[in-house]
Chain A
């Protein structure tokens, strides 16, 4: 393999990997607030891309993206209010099954609304052939948009959880819900907010990646499994770990394509997931204690 080719795979891997990282962070936000793994996380990414594509026919691109993020965030809130909020002490099994059902409903709803077709947004800058030369590898400017947006999301979240009152309240809610409620923190609303946040960042990721990977109603499921792999790999609840793990997984997957048939790409990821679950359920970057603390990374 030439150095250029290796670099090309690396860039492709980082692009996909950063999307996995955003999905994983979405898992983490909801997991930290509620202890739920939201199996519909991948559907938020799908919805973001699909809504933006539809809106972009009527309004300029930035508005379409903003509208898609807002609409998906509203869907996130709706999911929480309709399916989670009013349950009294639900068991984990029950919540898993409910979020799986919600994922199917969102997916089938998208199928009914948009059909089976594959869509994509236009490139944010330039077009599909424009490329920046990077040490001999050709990189689409959209890749920079994806990486930049991921970095922005991570930076925003770390500021939000580290330096704002609402962020602190969410962390308090994550570490001890009863105690937080006793301090007058509106824990129920914060749980809704956690769904809104993770839906919004998922939708944003779905928009920026859409020109490269395309969007269709069915992309949510595989994304959720990969995002979960990354969340576990990075230590459940640990967002810094999720970014590192996302990039690692993206690159591994991208390199696997050069060795194995493309159809087996998912098999590689999932085998990694199974191996990690079995050998080190607390993740590569998390200690057992840290994952038990359930704090934001």
Chain B
């Protein structure tokens, strides 16, 4: 099992390298920008895949967590502290290199908070909101859970659109790059294009490894039990409430981190990232990839996000995702990409497909 997992990740790595070489070789290096963005969206989708496919809990609020990450980081890193340089707290931040001066667009100097600090704040906030929301809401099932998470997503989106400090309809721009280590920064400059591409997909590979380990562990089997029959799982001594909450928080944190990174990569964030359509899009991608198939979800996310970001769907972008969602759920409730594997499995060990009677 372990070797096959490593082999899968290695094969994935080979595909990532091949895609980069093909794009650069064909003189279409700009494709790498959209592929990098796809990678960050994929992070958020993988978290949702764990929650929906393995724990069997729907969330229509994933974009809300993405936006919490993006907006928190954007807000904190675009703050200019230079006028408050004398304040002891600001002085302490400067001494700890958590606030550093950088030139702004107009040639002046701004004193901005470190993206590391902003990222940490975003993750803490995202996790805290996930716990606060998850504790009460995860007791709900089916359409109650769907509506509750939808309501959460809509609240975040309304706040993003309605708050001047968050840029209202324009969002926040001018977000500085995120320097991870000297020489490697998450940012949109064309010189950084290839390193950023590998960084983003490297993070996806890392997330995949962690998630694959998780679902093949004791915890993963407990999650599958909850998905199959929650009451039976409880009777077997699975602490369903705690596990669902942990999965929900994990999914939220992956979305928060991806929001932080994509915001630094794009140099800004707008309210459309918080919109309910984005959450629905994540759900659609998980549905295409197959509930309970992380590799399927990864593939679907890379392809669909890339096509959408390149503008192949034109004005019908949202309609395409709506249509995909309906078609997949009508004809392939277990996902298109996972269908063959499932058929094989059911021949070996017949069982009821997940997604039914949940």
Contacts and interface: CB of A to CB of B under 8 A. Distances in A.
Interface of A: 36-37, 39, 83, 87, 89-94, 96-98, 100-105, 107-109, 112, 221-222, 225, 228-229, 232, 261-264, 266-267, 270-271, 273-274, 277-278, 281
A108 B277 CA distance: 11
B357 A267 contact: no
A192 B133 CA distance: 36
A261 B158 CA distance: 11
A180 B141 CA distance: 27
B144 interface: yes
Given A93-B355, A94-B355, A264-B158, A277 B148 contact: yes
9 contacts: A94-B356, A100-B280, A100-B283, A107-B322, A232-B144, A266-B155, A273-B147, A274-B137, A277-B137
Interface in B263-282: 276-277, 280
Nearest to A84: B330
B189 interface: no
A278 B136 contact: yes
B151 interface: yes
Contacts of A261: 162
Given A93-B142, A108-B316, A277-B144, A101 B322 contact: yes
A97 B276 CA distance: 13
Contacts, number: 131
Interface pairs A-B: 10 shortest CB-CB? A263-B162, A104-B322, A101-B326, A108-B319, A101-B325, A278-B136, A92-B142, A37-B143, A270-B151, A91-B356
Q: Is chain B's binding surface mostly helix, strand, loop or mixed?
A: helix
A268 B161 CA distance: 15
B151 A273 contact: yes
A85 to B, nearest CB: 11
B205 interface: no
B321 A104 contact: yes
B280 A94 contact: no
Given A98-B329, A108-B316, A274-B148, 19 more contacts: A83-B326, A91-B356, A96-B143, A96-B146, A97-B58, A108-B318, A112-B319, A221-B276, A222-B154, A225-B154, A263-B158, A266-B155, A266-B158, A267-B158, A270-B151, A273-B148, A277-B148, A278-B139, A281-B140
Contacts of A89: 356-357
Q: Is chain A's binding surface mostly helix, strand, loop or mixed?
A: helix
B247 to A, nearest CB: 15
B358 interface: yes
B357 A277 contact: no
A278 B179 CA distance: 41
Contacts of B144: 232, 277, 281
A105 B323 contact: yes
B297 to A, nearest CB: 15
Given A102-B326, A274-B152, A90 B356 contact: yes
Contacts of A36: 143
Interface string B61-78: 000000000000000000
Contacts of A225: 147, 150-151, 154
A97 to B, nearest CB: 5
A104 B330 contact: no
